[in-house]
Amino acid sequence: MSSKPATTPAITNVMRERILSEPMVILEDHDLMRALISANERAMGGNIVDLRGIAMERLEARLARLEDTHRNVIAAAYENLSGTNQVHRAILRMLDPAEFEDFLKDIGGEVSTILRVDCAKLVLETAQNPDDPAVRKMGDVLSLAEPGFIDRYLDNGYGSTATRQVTLRQVHESDEDVYGEEAEFIRSEACIRLDFGTGRLPGMLALGAEDPHQFSPQQGTDLLGFFGGVFERAMRRWLS
């Protein structure tokens, strides 16, 4: 009994016409194009170098890299937009209070929640006695320090950062003079240097996080710099 040689199934007229009318459907299907290239290589044999196939593989690799870059750019854009909205909401909340005590309370409350930080402290350099009843009335958000403290704090072990408006860094042991009892939980911080105008000592807004990766030197500081600029202007109004 003789067996007939296997025959390749013929493509149907309907499928052929569909391919001829819409060739881009095949070109845009990566899996299908890869299968066609593999079939072509098998038909040519192993002794032939298919330069077009090599070029196609390189183009596919380049396309994959471009698609990854495109996705990363879109993700970064969404993240920046989210961060911008977050800072804008925090600023609007910060400008709501009509009393200074409420302003400080919001910094440690609603504003901190909007910014997603675990602790917010306002450090003011002053020669005033920290045990003064008027100071205690301001709540736990306010920390008083002697003149020169902020420069030392920003410079201590991290290089020359005193001239920067915003310093982002990870910390292993937070300063109790800044964060008080919450210092032991802080693992990263954003320090915004504040200028209250001629004749006034500087201040610092310290935003602390338990997450060691929330703030790092590699991150951008534009949004926090803008937030700090609005905060400075609000404080000048209260100080005047």
What is the residue extent of each domain of the chain? 97-239
Give whole-number Cα distances, 49 to 12, 38, 53, 62, 110, in Å.
32, 13, 9, 21, 67
Cα atoms found within 13 Å of the Cα of residue 126, Cβ hemisphere only: 16
How far is Cα 220 from Cα 16, in angstroms, rounded to an integer?
55
CATH 3.30.450.40 is held by the domain 97-239: yes
Report pLDDT for 132: 58
Helix (H, G, I), strand (E, B) or coil at 68: helix
Helix (H, G, I), strand (E, B) or coil at 189: strand
Residues of the chain short of pLDDT 50, as ranges, are 1-2
**Strand order through the sheet with 188-194:** 142-145, 119-125, 203-209, 188-194, 166-170
Q: Is the pTM of this model over 0.75?
A: no
> Structure tokens of 211?
């997450």
- Model confidence over 173-204: pLDDT tens digits? 777 888 888 888 999 999 999 998 888 889 99
Report pLDDT for 112: 92
Give 122: exposed, middle or buried? Use CB within 10 Å, 0-12, 13-18, 19+: buried
Report pLDDT for 1: 47
How far is Cα 220 from Cα 60, in angstroms, rounded to an integer?
33
